[in-house]
Amino acid sequence: MLLYGFTLSACPRNLPKALGEWFPPAQLGLANGVALGGNGGGQGLAAFVAPLALAHVGGWRGLTFGLAAQ
């Protein structure tokens, strides 16, 4: 959990800097928007799909184990 908490706080803060290394300044705004929008969209989709998947994986415990196995 400590490692998860560290990466959860470190990744969003370092994403724009990493994108700045890959994209030229003219495309950096679009790249940041797509990356951060995808991050938020993925979190929203996970929050929507997780309750629907509970019946298929045996409840919250099975869902948590499945996510940990990734």
- Assign 59 to helix, strand or coil: coil
Q: Cβ distance 21 to 30 under 8 Å? A: no
Residue 8: per-residue pLDDT: 75
Residues 50, 64, 59: CA angle, nearest 5 degrees: 65
In sign, the C-alpha dihedral spanning 36, 38, 44, 49 is negative
Residue 23: per-residue pLDDT: 92
Looking at residue 35, its amino acid is A
pLDDT at residue 4 is higher than 80: no
**In the chain, where the domains are located:** 2-69
> Which tens digit of pLDDT belongs to each residue from 7-66?
777 777 888 888 889 999 899 999 989 988 888 898 888 888 888 888 888 888 887 887
* Predicted TM-score of the model (pTM): 0.60
58: its two tokens:
């045996």
